[in-house]
Structure 1
Amino acid sequence: MRALIALIPVLFSAAIAAAPASAQSLIRDTEIEIMLRDYTDPFLEAAGLIPDDVGLYIIADPEINAFVTQGQNIFIHTGLILEAENPLQVQGVLAHETGHISGAHLARTGEAMNQAAIPMFATMGLGILAALAGEGQAGAALMASSQQFGALQFFSYTRTQESSADQAALRFLNETGTSPAGLLQFFERFRYQEAFSAARRYPYFRTHPLSSARVTSLREGVASSPFVEQAAPPEEVERLERLQAKIYGFMAEPGHVFFRYPVTDHSLPARYARAVAYYRDAQMDHAREEIESLIEEEPDNPYFYELYGQMLFESGHAAESIEYHQRSVDLMPSAPLLRVNLAMSMIASEDAEYLEAAGQHLRVALDIEPDNSFAWYQLSIVHERNGDTPRAQLAIAEQAFAVGNNGRAIQFAARAMPHLEVGSVDRFRAGELMAVAQARMADEAPRQSRRDR
């Protein structure tokens, strides 16, 4: 029975999985993150939420999907951004996901799964009784259908959640003066997915099941909005097109990029996409030509300098990349990722004169993003090259703590602590890391024990 109980959440979690596990990774990009934040934060505020408390993550995956998980965290696939026909469609989806957070739907999913298990168990029990009574064929049929009964009840609950999130999204869109037409366009564009089997649907429509009643209700709500005819501002349309070109340049094979954005297309998005594709295809002369044309057109665009610096750094020209990363930081000093890029180039140049500046940039970045594990790792390199091993070990402890590796955090904090000055901030932090990491491990132990049963 223990094995059977353990199987139930597996069955349901498989049914509601947000996306396939393969070919996925989280990516960081300042330009994309800022656009998504600009779209999402007004909806969070309209929902009475604090934007800084809600995580927003980008998954490098061509599938169309977006979902909420692990509390107040929104995940969006690059595929959804690429497939959007206008900014209003992206905004509509983000407003919908905000509706899931404000409705605490994730917290209630576990209860729904437990309720859905009741008919599953009942049907399975009837099948066992039928088999024991000698009706083997009938018993097998009942047991085979037990998962379907449970899934039907669970998805009935899911559709209720989706309708609730739709209505919340309409309210947030109206309160922020944003046309809700994009949300309806997005759903109607993929309405055909309703006729597909679950296995053939896009991940978004497996976890956000459509129904005729749901679309009809949404259509009525959109029609009554005072902003329904309001188009997306031209600058936002251009912004989305740029980012779609950038994403496509990084995600698609270079040959596909050159087909979609041929050299005869001299638009800014096309040159942006080709610059990335040329660099990925090791055609640096062409990549330089494209990115330099973009910088000439927009000399105050930090993202073009960032891309140029990335191209040079990753092609083995770390020292040359410094000036471009420095320019991106000068133009956008509050962006932590740009400072991390600059520090990384300074460190990779192996010029000791850059170490102090690199450390300063990393500390500023970490003041803004204290959980940036890569920045902590880079800072450990700076400390080690300066001969400050205890602080390098403390930085490694911070890195481990940021990624949830509590055992490693304790190990390196313990190594650093005896060599840090008594009464110093660093020594206090080492002790704090050890205490919190130990508390985390103690809290996780019962859950791990339950999973191991």
Structure 2
Amino acid sequence: MKRLAALLAVLCLTLFAARPAMAQSILRDAETESLLADMSRDIIVAAGLSPANVRVVLVNDQSINAFVAGGQIVYIHSGLLDAADTANEVQGVIAHEIGHIVGGHAVFQNDGGYTNISILSLLLGAAAMAAGAGEAGTGLLMMGQRAAIGKYLAFSRIQESSADAAGVRFITGAGISGKGMISFFNKLTAQMHRYGYYATSSNPEVDPFAQTHPMSADRVQTLQADLQNAKAWNKPLDPKIEARFKRVQAKLRGYVAEPETTLRRYPASDQSAPAHYARAYAYHKSGYPDQAAAETAALVKTAPDDPYFLELEGQILLESGKPAEALAPLREATQRSNNQPLIAATFGHALLATEDKTNLAEAEQVLRTAVARDKENPFAWMQLGTVYERKGDEPRTALATAERAHLMGDVRTALISARSAMGNLPQGSSDWVRAQDIAMVSQTAMEDQKRKRR
């Protein structure tokens, strides 16, 4: 039964791998998204794709991983950014993942029939065990799962090798050094040694054919020759990109790590911009607003026009219960970032948080611009809904609620709110049409949910 449980666990891991992003929280930050877009743009173009259609999304997960799940989105775990020494290492990972996109790969798909083998053996095994033939049922399960898992692992290794080769073409085609790709694979090799994925004198039983990825040492050996022969191999790293990466990395560490860990890694003796960033978040999380404000003030002093430093200054003031004081830095951050939607949404929130009616018109303008440029921001829709509610505009309050619920996957609320909006908006208007679209999509989703429950 222990072996059966282990096999079932592998099956469950395989099945749920199709929806990893859904089980994790997405981290959104204006500075981080700008950096990831700039880091990946030339690689995307070299792959023959449009930068307007490919996104690199940060997932709040401390494991070292990245993946695609269909479409043109690359998901990067926060743990991978934390583990990387350079932006160039992350570029190597992005190139590999874009190789999956171009190759039409996905985390999980029904290819070659292995899904059917797995499910069929599960059903046959369960039926045999229910009929009293426990040993026979366990045997059927084990045989079927071995076949399914073996076929899946072999298929996965082929995809990974294909993505490796494509990643080499894309990163060299972009004129970016492949040294980061090699150094990051070396990190993976060290991790695999550490956690026992390689055969050693103390652990000689590791089977390379039981891995989803080719063994990292083998990958390095295969890729290194092609990367070293490229013209860009000895090209210096982009100093501006690398400096921006260190800032983003420190900001991320300050946000996700325990404050004690952050303050050890970035002691007060370190007066660099990344260190001020990390400590500002650590102190803010710990409930020390004065120390957080001091670190932010040090940042702003070094670069008074930096929109991301101004954003942080305003964010800390806002979340410390000082929305009126937050308005000036957030307004300037919004203007200097060319109305970046995430920054603008925070500014709109601050305007509302003052509870000053004279700020309502500006909040509406700022938030309408934010959602027009980034419709996938539930927080901005919630703030805009608050604007409409305070104005007494019930139809648009309902529409904003529908937009937010639709993004959050709350199909029932989305459907009810969209129908409410349709009932009170001018028929045929752009807002009415949008409410109709949400209602139709939500109705279909609810019907699908009902069918699955039967």
TM-score by length of 1: 0.86
Q: Superposed, which structure 2 residues align to 1:101-250 within 5 Å?
A: 101-106=101-106, 109-112=109-112, 114-115=113-114, 118=117, 143-195=141-193, 196=195, 208-210=213-215, 212-250=217-255
Q: Structure 1 residues 91, 16: closer, same or farther in 2, change over 3 A?
A: farther
The residue that corresponds to 2:432 in the other structure is 427
Residues 353-403 of structure 1 show CA distances to partners (whole Å, capped at 9, x for unaligned) of: 111110111111111112322211111110111111122112112222233
Q: Which amino acid aligns with 1:106?
A: A
1:425 Cα deviation from its structure 2 partner: 3.1
Residues 216-269 of structure 1 show CA distances to partners (whole Å, capped at 9, x for unaligned) of: 211222122111112312222221111111111111222221111111111221
- Alpha-carbon separation, structure 2, partners of 1:439 and 1:119: 29
1:105 Cα deviation from its structure 2 partner: 0.9
Q: Structure 1 residues 297, 354: closer, same or farther in 2, change over 3 A?
A: same
Residues 401-436 of structure 1 show CA distances to partners (whole Å, capped at 9, x for unaligned) of: 233333322211222333323554333433343334
Q: Does 1:371 align with 2:376?
A: yes
Q: Structure 1 residues 245, 408: closer, same or farther in 2, change over 3 A?
A: same
Give the 3-state SS of the residue equivalent to 1:52 in structure 2: coil
Q: Structure 1 residues 399, 193: closer, same or farther in 2, change over 3 A?
A: same
Contact 1:124 1:146 survives alignment (8 Å): no
Contact 1:194 1:209 survives alignment (8 Å): no
Give the 3-state SS of the residue equivalent to 1:109 in structure 2: coil
The residue that corresponds to 1:17 in the other structure is 17
Q: Greater CA deviation, 429-438 or 331-340? A: 429-438
TM-score by length of 2: 0.85
Contact 2:121 2:145 survives alignment (8 Å): no
Q: Does 1:281 align with 2:286?
A: yes
- Alpha-carbon separation, structure 1, partners of 2:250 and 2:99: 29
Q: Structure 1 residues 179, 319: closer, same or farther in 2, change over 3 A?
A: same
Give the 3-state SS of the residue equivalent to 2:58 in structure 1: strand
Q: Report the RMSD for the aligned CA atoms in angstroms.
A: 3.5
Q: Structure 1 residues 122, 96: closer, same or farther in 2, change over 3 A?
A: same
5+ residue gaps in structure 1? Answer: none
- Alpha-carbon separation, structure 2, partners of 1:218 and 1:275: 41
Q: Does 1:67 align with 2:83?
A: no
Q: Structure 1 residues 99, 322: closer, same or farther in 2, change over 3 A?
A: same
1:120 Cα deviation from its structure 2 partner: 9.2
Q: Which of 256, 270, 283 lines up with 1:265 in the alignment?
A: 270
Q: How many residues align?
A: 435
Q: Structure 1 residues 380, 224: closer, same or farther in 2, change over 3 A?
A: same
Contact 1:72 1:101 survives alignment (8 Å): yes
Q: Structure 1 residues 108, 378: closer, same or farther in 2, change over 3 A?
A: closer
Contact 2:39 2:241 survives alignment (8 Å): no
Q: Structure 1 residues 190, 417: closer, same or farther in 2, change over 3 A?
A: closer
Identity %: 38
The residue that corresponds to 2:53 in the other structure is 53
Contact 1:66 1:76 survives alignment (8 Å): yes
The residue that corresponds to 2:203 in the other structure is none
Give the 3-state SS of the residue equivalent to 2:68 in structure 1: strand
Contact 2:45 2:174 survives alignment (8 Å): no
- Alpha-carbon separation, structure 2, partners of 1:441 and 1:53: 29
Q: Structure 1 residues 183, 19: closer, same or farther in 2, change over 3 A?
A: farther
Q: Superposed, which structure 2 residues align to 1:72-91 within 5 Å?
A: 72-91=72-91
5+ residue gaps in structure 2? Answer: 198-205
Contact 1:410 1:433 survives alignment (8 Å): yes
